[in-house]
């Protein structure tokens, strides 16, 4: 099926077109996806982009990128990049992506090689922390470091994001995608990196090595050595004040996730808050822990997906995500460490 590119406006005909051409799109009768399509006051632009359309050399992880823009929202001049977890793709994390767009972000639900294998391969190596770090770095830059991955430069996050931003700049020159490129590289100082599970770990690794505008971790970082965080988590170029995170307390990875938060230094901002019992700004904490029941009840590992996965995250009677206010807080709260983001807007060295 040829990907759709263009603006989503109101009307049932368009909704049928979305359903027909995007059968993997999780649209429900009361989904906010329908609200976006039917409410004239909140149109969302959606570009569904095949990775190979941006670079023919890309030959892995060919599920579509999901690219969003709310033309009615006041832009915050930042790009939000969401990385799915192991074996997943952006189509099952549309609700978080849409909310980020409504908050003024340019948004990319980003497809990259998510085969993973880190959780099985790294704990049995002589130096698990180095294994985790090298594996994530290989996913990001495509330089061969571990035997169980096969990510080359063309398929790396760096290349795929660069080529996608260049493609969007050419195809939609009036939408402002060029502001997130500097000297043909992603301008990381203007990019918020985020992701679920493995994707959150990759976002944390990006923030470890590059100064980014924000980090939002959903059910991550899951890397662990006997339920403790590996040493790579503890040091990072991005100030700790820009990190925000959420997890479910019945997640099988909850203990290593909390250890990772502690290693990052997030305890500095207070204990985690429970978003279903408190309201933003949650006493200024940077971490949230939910116990809401996932869609369909607690089945298998769906507590792990509840904070962000469209198929698991709990919805209200009208289809609104029950964690929507929590997402908004994680995506917009201002804390220590943000002071130099706007200063880097015109800095020639702010891209990498």
Give tens-digit pLDDT for 259-316. Answer: 999 999 999 999 999 999 999 999 999 999 999 999 999 999 999 999 999 999 999 9
Domain hosting 120: range is: 5-338
Rounded distance, CA 348 to CA 328, Å?
30
Question: CATH code at 33?
Answer: 3.40.50
Residue 280 maps to a domain? yes
Residue 345 maps to a domain? no
Q: Which residues lie below 8 Å from residue 12, measured CB to CB, with a gap of 6+?
A: none
- The predicted pLDDT at position 90 comes to 98
Residue 31 maps to a domain? yes
Residue 246 maps to a domain? yes
pTM: 0.86
Rounded distance, CA 326 to CA 322, Å?
8
Would you give per-residue pLDDT tens digits along the chain (352 residues)? 333 344 343 333 233 233 333 333 333 323 333 343 334 445 899 999 999 999 999 999 999 999 999 999 999 999 999 999 999 999 999 999 999 999 999 999 999 999 877 888 999 999 999 999 999 999 999 999 999 999 999 999 999 999 999 999 999 999 999 999 999 999 999 999 999 999 999 999 999 999 999 999 999 999 999 889 999 999 999 999 999 999 999 999 999 999 999 999 999 999 999 999 999 999 999 999 999 999 999 999 999 999 999 999 999 999 999 999 999 999 999 864 444 444 444 333 333 3
Residue 349 maps to a domain? no
Question: H helices of the chain, where?
Answer: 12-21, 32-38, 51-54, 94-102, 118-121, 128-141, 157-171, 198-209, 254-264, 302-305, 324-332
Residue 185 maps to a domain? yes
Closest C-alpha to 330, from 182, 203, 179, 187 = 203
Q: Which residues lie below 8 Å from residue 207, measured CB to CB, with a gap of 6+?
A: 193, 215, 236, 237, 238, 242, 243
Residue 59 maps to a domain? yes
Rounded distance, CA 136 to CA 48, Å?
26
Residue 262 maps to a domain? yes
* Structural domains in the chain (count): 1
């Amino acid at each position: 099926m040829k990907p759709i590119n263009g603006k989503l406006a109101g009307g049932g005909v368009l909704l049928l077109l979305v359903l027909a051409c995007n059968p993997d799109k999780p649209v429900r009768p009361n989904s906010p996806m329908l609200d976006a399509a039917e409410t004239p006051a909140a149109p969302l632009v959606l570009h569904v982009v095949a990775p190979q359309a941006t670079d023919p050399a890309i030959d892995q992880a060919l599920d579509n990128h999901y690219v969003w823009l709310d033309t009615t929202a006041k832009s915050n001049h930042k790009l939000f990049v969401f990385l799915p977890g192991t074996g997943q793709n952006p189509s099952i994390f549309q609700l978080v992506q849409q909310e980020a767009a409504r908050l003024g972000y340019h948004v990319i639900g980003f497809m990259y090689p998510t085969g993973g294998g880190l959780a099985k391969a790294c704990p049995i190596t002589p130096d698990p922390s180095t294994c985790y770090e090298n594996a994530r770095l290989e996913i990001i830059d495509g330089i061969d470091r571990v035997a169980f991955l096969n990510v080359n430069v063309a398929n790396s996050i760096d290349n795929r994001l660069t080529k996608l931003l260049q493609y969007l700049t050419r195809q939609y020159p009036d939408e402002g995608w060029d502001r997130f490129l500097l000297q043909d590289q992603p301008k990381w100082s203007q990019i918020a990196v985020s992701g679920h599970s493995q994707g959150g770990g990759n976002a944390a690794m990006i923030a470890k090595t590059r100064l980014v505008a924000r980090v939002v971790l959903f059910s991550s970082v899951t890397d662990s050595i006997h339920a403790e965080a590996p040493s790579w988590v503890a040091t990072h170029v991005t100030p700790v004040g820009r990190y925000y995170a959420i997890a479910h307390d019945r997640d099988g990875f909850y203990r290593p996730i909390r250890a990772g938060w502690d290693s990052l230094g997030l305890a500095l901002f207070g204990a985690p808050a429970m978003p279903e019992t408190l309201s933003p700004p949650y006493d200024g904490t940077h971490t949230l822990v939910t116990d809401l029941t996932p869609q369909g009840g607690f089945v298998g590992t769906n507590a792990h997906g509840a904070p962000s996965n469209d198929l698991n995250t709990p919805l209200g009677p009208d289809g609104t995500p029950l964690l929507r206010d929590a997402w908004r807080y994680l995506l917009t709260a201002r804390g220590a460490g943000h002071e130099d983001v706007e200063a880097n807007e015109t800095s020639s060295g702010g891209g990498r």
